[in-house]
Each structure stands twice: as structure tokens, then as C-alpha cells.
Structure 1
Amino acid sequence: MSKSIQTENAVIEAIKNRRTVKKFKKDAVPTDKIIELLDAAVWAPNHKLREPWRFLLFTGDGRNKLAQAIDAEMGEDNKFSANIKQVPAVMLVVLEEDPRQNIWDEDFAAVSALVQNFLLAAWSEEIGTFWVTKPFLYAPKFRKPLGIEAGEKIIGMIYMGYPDVIPSAKERTPAKDKLTLFE
């Protein structure tokens, strides 16, 4: 078997085996490891190498800053900020928005590809992830204390840590059921 086919199978297996993890052990994920994973993720395809992304990483006591921003929008009695303090690391992925719709679409796709790269890279290092979006991500009271400006969109929060529970796979609709073929 050729090396390229073996590599292709490894990639396909990684894609199929990755799981969304919502329960993490308390062990910290080293910041250097997260940066290493980001360095792999930035190889996502992005038109004209615009690299329209930036990241805010919250670990250790830094998670309190994120929890305070959530509290500013949601009030102090909410499940989200309490949960943030239990997750070993949380990263916001931010898109630098372009006012031209076609560029915005390309950049949004690029940042989404970057997130998928990160999730797969993390999984390859036995780090579980959970890509989540919440309504408070749009709120000025949440965004301002974190330095997220007008013209920036939070693509999502990525919770990460070493899995305590790995969920089983859920069935997917075969692609052929959604394929229109022109021959």
C-alpha cells in the first residue's frame, strides 16, 4: 500500500473517530500544547492567505475573566460562567469581518476550516473538544471586557481538556442521500 493511501486512511479515520467531549478531567492542558495545535490549525485553506482569525485563550485563573464577561451579560446566577470555571481551557475563535459579502463568506469558511483542523489536531493528542456558540457571544456587555471590537465575529467557544467521558458515535446520513450528480 502506498504511503499516500495510508495517510489518506489515517485522515479519514481521524475525521470519523473524533467526538465532541463535554465532560473533562480536571487536568490542565498545557498552553504550549494548545499553541502547537493552533500552529497546525492555521494551515486551513484561506483565500489569498488573509488569515482572518485571532484567538482568546482562557486557562487557570484566566477562566475567571471569561466568566465575568458572561456574568456581565447573563447576571451572576447562570450556569454558563459556573461551567466555564470547570473546563480546563476555553478558547474564543474570532473572525475579522470584511464588509464585502464574498470576502466575508470566504473568511467565515476559512475560520470554520481552522476550527475543524484544531478539533482534529487536539483529538490526535487525546484532547477532547466541544465547539459551542451561545447567544451571549453577540452581546456588547460580554464582548467589551474581552476586547472584541465591532467588525469582529466570535465563531465559537472551544472547550478543551482531557476527556472524562467519550461519547459513542451517532449515525450520519450517507452523502449519497444528499448528492445530486450531473454526468
Structure 2
Amino acid sequence: MSIAKVIRERRSIKTDYKPDAVSEELVLELLNDAVYAPNHGLREPWRFVFVSTEKKKDFVERLITVYPPEAHEKRREMYSQPAAYLIVIMKEDPRQKQWEEDFSAVNCLIQNFQLLAWERDLGVVWKTNPHNWDPKAHAILGVQPGEKIVGFLHLGFFDKENPPAARKRTPAEEKFTRFE
């Protein structure tokens, strides 16, 4: 499959996950390719927390406590859908230039992971929910001062024969100018 085809066909898989477990071995295999994302100075500013299918229920019960009690059932239902989670955490450099380079690198790594996962029929949706910034969620995940959650990746296998429909993209020509 060409790179262009994978880029154009990849979708965020938000629902309808199969009940199959997502193995740590598969996630590590994908990450070991994804870490080849461009990153200035090879700082590799990322680290990962994997929530396995077997640990997901306990994780969800702890995570919903970040929200008000009246939101627990809705959040429990939403967070129980994926088979597993991969939380991507970035070390925050206090220097603005380095911070932006590192944030860009982590985003590239996540895109690499999504493309690699798609090739293996592993659905991913990259989420930035309010708990990403919540100190209570940071404590649950062991996020340290000077670290930032860049994304919660919801993981689960899906029926690749029936992926979500593509959404229209604006042609590059409509956002393209020439320096004169």
C-alpha cells in the first residue's frame, strides 16, 4: 500500500470496536517504528502509558473520578468502548523554541502511530479531553511536573471492510500562495 493511500484512507475510529484485546507487544511494535518521527536534536521528548485491555476497567473507574459524580455514568460508558489506551506524554522544555519543536515531534510520532495502526487494522482516535489538563488525572497517570499529556489514544480493532466515510478536505490550492 502506498504512503499516500494510507494517509488518505486512515480514519479516526471512535466507536464499534471489536472485543479483541490490544496486546502490549503490538503497541510496542508500532511505537518502535513511530519513534522515527522527526525530532530536533533527537531529544525524543515523549513517554507512554499503556492501559491494557485487562486493566481498562480499573483505569476507567479511576479516571471517571476526575469528573463530577453526575458525569460518571456517561464517562464510564464512553471510556469503556475502546479496548485499550495509549497516553502520550511530553517532557516540557521551558525554552519556547525547544517546546514547540518537541510538541511538533510528539504530534508527528502520534500521526506515525495512527498510520502504522491503520495498516494493522487497529483503530485509533486521538483525544484531548478536559482530563488531559486535570491534576487529578495527572496523579492517576503519574504525570510529573514539567510534563504534558499530548493525547489519549483510544485503541481497538475494527471492521476494516466498513470504515467511517471520508470527510471532505480543502484542496491545497485553495490555501496556497506564492511569494512574489
Provide structure 1 residue ranges, at least 5 long, that are not aligned to the other structure. 1-8
Shift in Å, 1:65: 4.1
| Matched pairs, number | 175
Alignment map for 1:34-183 (pairs within 5 Å): 34-76=27-69, 77-164=72-159, 166-182=163-179
Match of 1:13 in 2: 5
Q: Is the 8 A contact 1:93 1:154 kept in 2?
A: yes
Report the aligned-residue RMSD.
Answer: 1.6
Calculate the TM-score normalised by the size of structure 1.
0.89
CA deviation string 1:93-117 (max 9, x = no partner): 0010000000000000000000000
Structure 1: 4+ residue segments shifted above 6 A: none
Report Cα offsets for 1:11-65 as digits up to 9, x if no partner.
Answer: 1111001011112111112211111000010000000100000001111232134
Using the TM superposition, give the Cα deviation of residue 80 of structure 1 relative to its aligned residue in structure 2, in angstroms.
2.5
**CA shift for structure 1 position 149:** 1.1
> Structure 2: how far apart are the matches of 1:69 and 1:53?
24
Aligned counterparts of 2:41 and 2:94: Cα–Cα separation in 1? 17
Percent identical among aligned pairs is 41
C-alpha contact 1:69 1:141 (8 A) present in aligned 2:
no
TM-score normalized by the length of structure 2: 0.91
Give the deviation of 1:145 after TM superposition: 2.0
